């Protein structure tokens, strides 16, 4: 669980969460705008991939789109929502989201798994553990 605090104008750049987790974000204080994209738009969002934990980020700013610099993003399908104080938005695994605090803001966030994404979550976590173990090995293959 994480708590995000910030003044009006605080931005979380476009990303989807790691390990194929779902996420809920509850607005405790203030108002926040979310611009979201379905996983099927991933190839259009000019993303970078964290191969260890399957997280993705993009420098594309959906609030001020530069379709010259990010031409494929013009084909993506954004969904916009304003989350008011006391409301919660729930995003399934790999849904892209960009967020901006419209007022001073406090947001409670939690990633989660369920029967829909549990197997994929476990596969990605196992891969991440293997990658980390490989980083810890010297040339002899023994963990340092």
Residue 46, SS3 per DSSP = coil
pLDDT per residue as tens digits for the range 79-91: 999 999 999 999 9
Higher-pLDDT residue of 61, 141: 61
User: What is this structure's pTM?
Assistant: 0.89
Distance CA 144, CA 132 (A): 12
Q: Which two tokens stand for residue 37?
A: 């994209």
CA proximity to 90, closest of 79, 100, 102 = 79
pLDDT at 126 exceeding the cut of 70:
yes
């Amino acid at each position: 669980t994480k708590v995000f605090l910030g003044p009006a104008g605080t931005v979380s750049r476009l990303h989807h969460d790691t390990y194929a987790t779902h996420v809920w974000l509850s607005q405790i204080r203030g108002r926040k705008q979310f611009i979201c994209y379905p996983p099927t738009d991933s190839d259009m969002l000019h993303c970078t991939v964290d191969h260890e934990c399957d997280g993705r980020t993009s420098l594309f700013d959906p609030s001020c789109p530069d379709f010259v610099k990010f031409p494929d993003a013009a084909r993506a399908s954004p969904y916009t929502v304003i989350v008011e104080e006391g409301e919660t938005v729930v995003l399934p695994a790999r849904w892209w989201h960009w967020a901006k605090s419209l007022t001073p803001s406090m947001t409670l966030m939690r990633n989660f798994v369920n029967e829909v994404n549990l197997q994929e979550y476990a596969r990605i976590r196992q891969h991440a553990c293997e990658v980390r173990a490989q980083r810890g090995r010297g040339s002899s293959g023994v963990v340092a």
